[in-house]
Structure 1
Amino acid sequence: MTHTSPQTTLYPVLKGALDDAVRMVPEAKRTSSLKACLAEKVLTLAAGGETNPTILTRLAVLTVQDSCHSCYGCEGW
């Protein structure tokens, strides 16, 4: 019997949501700072209980578009 932890099953969801969020950003704006900002948003949403990858992706992108100009210098887009 194999035991899988919540972290093991959640990792692919978080990675997929982040990858999808990054793909939604115009290629010229895909800086490492912007990617870090998107990752922070995905993790914050997941920590709040969200596990739907589509919702994680959309909310992360929307949040960054609305507020990224003021976070960690990632310059928004």
Structure 2
Amino acid sequence: MQQITFTPYITHQGGWRATIEGVRTASSVRGKGVGTKMIYWAIERAKERGCHLIQLTTDKQRADALRFYERLGFQATHEGMKMKL
């Protein structure tokens, strides 16, 4: 499963940004292309929506996930922060 959110943002003349979060695949299907298909599906939805940018969040401690996303073309360009309420 994954969550994709579309958000208008002020750069790119008020264009749209897609954010992928909560990506999960069952351990029994890892390494079989399911995650890749899920991410490509999300990228296509973002293109259909006219997004100028697609971003995702992942835990910095998950080295395998980071390599996976980099292999799909994502780059770690920003540092994110959270605050639990």
Task: Identify the TM-score tier after normalising by the shorter chain.
Answer: 0.3 to 0.5
Higher strand share: 2
* TM-score, length basis structure 1: 0.36
The answer to which structure, 1 or 2, has the higher relative contact order (CA under 8 A, 6+ apart) is 1
* TM-score, length basis structure 2: 0.33
